A and B are shown apart, each in its own frame.
Chain A
C-alpha cells in the first residue's frame, strides 16, 4: 500500500455547458466493483486466503442471501469499450469523465463488510484488503477519484485502526458504513469510529445494500424492496444518530446518507422536532432541535431523482429553507443512474443548481478543500 503517495488535487474542469451554467459536477455516489473476490488475494493477509480459494467465500450478498432473481442491474447503454462498467478504472474513466460531465467522483464500492454478521476478523482482513485494492487500482490511477475507508463497524477497535492506517492516503474522504437494519449507529459503542473520522477530517457515509432489509424483512418482490429498504434504513439510522446525541457530541462531523431518496426529509425533521419537544425528559442530552442538527451535520445524495421533477426539487429546497443539504450523485453504474445536466437542468436557479452539483460537496468534505470550483 502506498499511503504516502500524494494525490494531485485536480482543478475541477469546465463542463462545457455554457457560460451561465455551473462549471463543475461532483458525484457523491459511485460504485466500483470487484470482478471477483479473488481479485483481493494479492492484498489479503495470507491466513485468510483459503476462505476465498478453498471455501468459496464470495463478495456481494453477505448476509442471509438476497432473495431476488430480478434486480435492477447496470445501465444498458454504457459502452463496453473498456469492459463492463465499474469493474476497471478505464471503464469508469470513460463513462464518468469522458462520456459525461463529471469532474470528481467519490467511490463507495459494493462490498459491505460492516454487514457481515459474523467472522469479524475475516471481515476486517477483507476490509483492509479492499481498501488497499481501492487505493492501488483506483485512487492511484485516476486523480479525479476519491475513496472510502471501509471498516467493520461491529468491531470499533479494528475499525479505528483501519481508519488510522488508511486515512494517511489523501484520496480518502469518508468512512463508509452500510445502513444495516440490525444495528443502531447512535449507540455509544460506535463513538470511537466517529472520533477517528473526525480526527482525520473524514465524513461518515451510509449506503444501503443487499443486506439491508425493509421493516417487513425482504418483501415478496424486488420492486417493493427497492422502494422501501433505503429510505427506511436511512430514516432509522438518522433518528438513532439524533436521539442518541451523536450529532451534538460530534458537531464538527458530517454524516452523509446516500441513495435514500429526498422527499421524506422535511416530514422527518418536523416529526423528530415534535418528538424531542414531547420527550425531552427521556433524552436530555440532545442539545439542539433535530432539524437544526440535521441542517448543520447531515447531507443526502440526490439519486434516485427519477420521480422528482426539477420544479418539485425546487419546492423541496424551499420547504427545507436551505439548499445546502443535498449532494448530486449518479449511482453509477446502476440502471437508474442520474445524469447531472438532465436531472438539474438550467431551468433551476443558478445558485441552487451549483449548490447541488458541486458546492455542497465541497462544503461537506473537508478533504476536498483544495479542489478549485
Chain B
C-alpha cells in the first residue's frame, strides 16, 4: 500500500516525523543532504519509539583512533542510543539488530511511503 505522508516542503532536512500508516507506526525522515527515508517506529531492542530519537550522520573510521563523518545517516534510539542505518536499518556491526526499512520517494511534491 502506498501512502502520501506529507508535502515534500513540510519535511525539512534533518527532520524525523512519527506517523501511522494503516496500522503500522513509521518514522518518515529527510536526511541533512535531502534524501527521504522511512523506518519502523519501534526499536527492536526494547520497543522504544524511534521517532523520539535523533537523525544523525554516522561517524566512520579508517583506523584505530581515526574518525570521520561518513556521509551516511542513522536514526538513534532515544533509550539506549542504538543507531539504525537510515538506508538498510542495520544496527552498526550487529546485523542481527535491525529495524524494518520502508521504500520512500517523492512524487509530485509529496512524500510517498510504501507500507503494509
Q: Interface residues, chain A, CB within 8 Å of chain B? A: 188, 244-245, 249, 273-274, 276-281, 284-289
Residues of A within 8 A of B64 (CB): 188, 244-245, 249, 285
Q: Bits for B29-56, please: 1 = Cβ < 8 Å to A, else 0.
A: 0000000000000000100000000000
Number of interface residues of B (CB under 8 A): 19
Q: Which of B61, B66, B94 contacts A273 (CB 8 A)?
A: B94
Main secondary structure of the interface of A (DSSP, over half): loop
Q: How far is the CB of B111 from chain A (nearest CB, A)?
A: 28
Q: Are B80 and A278 in contact (CB under 8 A)?
A: yes
Q: Please name the residue on chain A nearest to B56 by beta carbon.
A: A281
CB distance from A39 to the nearest CB of B (A): 41
The 8 A-B pairs with the shortest beta carbon distances in the complex, nearest first, are: A284-B61, A285-B61, A245-B64, A280-B92, A278-B81, A281-B59, A285-B64, A277-B82
Number of A-B residue pairs having CB atoms within 8 Å of each other in the complex = 42
* Bound CA span A274–B82, Å: 9
Q: Is B65 an interface residue (CB 8 A)?
A: yes
Q: Which residue in chain A gives the minimum CB-CB distance to B76?
A: A281
Main secondary structure of the interface of B (DSSP, over half): strand
List 10 A-B pairs, Cβ < 8 Å.
A245-B64, A273-B94, A274-B80, A277-B45, A277-B94, A278-B81, A280-B93, A281-B58, A284-B67, A287-B93
- Kindly list 18 other residue pairs between chains A and B, CB separation below 8 angstroms, not including A277-B92, A277-B94, A278-B80: A188-B65, A245-B64, A249-B64, A274-B80, A276-B92, A276-B94, A277-B81, A277-B82, A277-B97, A278-B81, A280-B92, A281-B58, A284-B67, A285-B64, A286-B93, A287-B93, A288-B93, A289-B93
Assess whether B82 is in contact with A278, with CB atoms less than 8 Å apart.
Answer: yes
With CB as the reference atom, state the residue of chain B lying closest to A283.
B61
Contacts of B67 in A (CB 8 A): 284
Q: CB of B63 within 8 A of chain A? A: yes
